[in-house]
Amino acid sequence: MSNVVEFNPERRTRRRTSAASRAIPVPRGAALPACLDSWRLALESANKASKTIRSYTDVATMFITYLNDNSLPCDAEGVKAEHVRAFLVRERHRTSPASADVCFRNLRVWFNWMCSDEIQERTTSSPVLKVDRPQVARKVREYIGEDEQRQLLATAGSNSFEDRRDRALMTILYDSGPRASGIMNVRYTPRDPDGNEVDLRGRRLRITLKGGDQHWLPLGSRAAQALDRYIRARSAHSRALTSPWLWLGIQGRNTAHMSPEGLRDMLTRRGELAGIRGKVHPHRYRGTAAHELLKAGASDSDVQSIMGWKTREMVDHYAGDLAAERAREVHARLSPADRI
């Protein structure tokens, strides 16, 4: 009976189950390209600025390409902290620490979204760790001083349409520091009060902030006068009756609407004419307005409200570099020893 093989059904079943278990792949997370498409929809639904969406998605696309090129996991569950770290190191060497920091911040937002209770595409914590944030050397912010502002205004001293327009823009920027997209997308429709965003009597403009919120930007007397003077010149423009936009152009494809890019080009040109050191741009005015308001005695909460900022930290972000200068001026005015 040596040729008889004993049948053990329990043993055979156990062996088959083990083989079947080995055939089942380890579950993966959703593919990152699919997550990117969903994230883009979420950003658009949240009314994020197109520039912000482009920055987020460009970095996410770069990261996906990096993972694929290096045969690394490219799904929501498979990405590890070491993969993100290697990508950031490569970006730092390929471009700059500042660029790598942008990649870090954008990837952190993306993975936090995937880890959120609402999305739940990743069951473990985010692989974008705070300790891996690239170190970026802090640069001193450039401001527009009073003398520089006078030099800039001097380049727009004629009675021409262009000079009136540019002088009004530079005065408003120095006075209240709006973002380029906010100031350049103001509508002027005096025949349609509901859509009109210019209130000269109230000395204010209704602008749209980053994120879509609307905000009344206050104007000082000189800013309101410069704007009023520009509006009179605007009435003679060929697009005055057909364009709903406050700021009109004089050259290019769309003279019915001077764009934020047109504002940047104008400031660069005026800065060169005035001999200003460094490039003049709208964000340089943003910090200037905050500093000048604080210097004149406005509180942090006043500046936050005037500029339309949601957090107190933005005051320090834009005006913190000159805090010591403001403190010295306060001390000179309130010196304890001088009162004896």
Domain ranges for the chain:
32-132, 146-328
CA gap 207, 209 in Å, rounded:
6
The CA–CA distances, whole Å, from 184 to 143, 207, 309 equal: 21, 9, 18
Query: pLDDT tens, 74-130?
Result: 999 999 999 999 999 999 999 999 999 999 999 999 999 999 999 999 999 999 999
pLDDT, average across residues 290-319: 86
In the predicted model, is pLDDT for residue 320 greater than 80? no
pTM for the structure as a whole: 0.70
71: left (phi over 0), alpha (psi -120 to 50) or beta: left
Which residue stretches of 46-80 are H helix? 50-69
pLDDT, average across residues 309-313: 85
**How, if at all, do strands 204-208 and 198-199 pair?**
antiparallel
Confidence of residue 237 (pLDDT cuts 50, 70, 90): very high
**Triad 61, 129, 67: Cα angle to 5°:** 30
Res 300: pLDDT: 87
Which residue stretches of 70-96 are H helix? 81-94
In the predicted model, is pLDDT for residue 331 greater than 80? no
CA gap 118, 38 in Å, rounded:
13
CATH number of the domain at 32-132, please? 1.10.150
Confidence of residue 329 (pLDDT cuts 50, 70, 90): confident
Of 36 and 210, which is predicted with more confidence? Answer: 36
Confidence of residue 297 (pLDDT cuts 50, 70, 90): confident
Query: pLDDT tens, 31-81?
Result: 999 999 999 999 999 888 888 999 999 999 999 999 999 999 999 999 999
Query: pLDDT tens, 140-150?
Result: 678 899 999 99
| CB-count burial class (<10 Å; 0-12, 13-18, 19+) for 194 | exposed
Cβ atoms within 10 Å, residue 17: 10
80: left (phi over 0), alpha (psi -120 to 50) or beta: beta
CA gap 298, 321 in Å, rounded:
17
Give the rounded percent of residues in the chain with a pLDDT score beyond 70: 90
CATH number of the domain at 146-328, please? 1.10.443.10
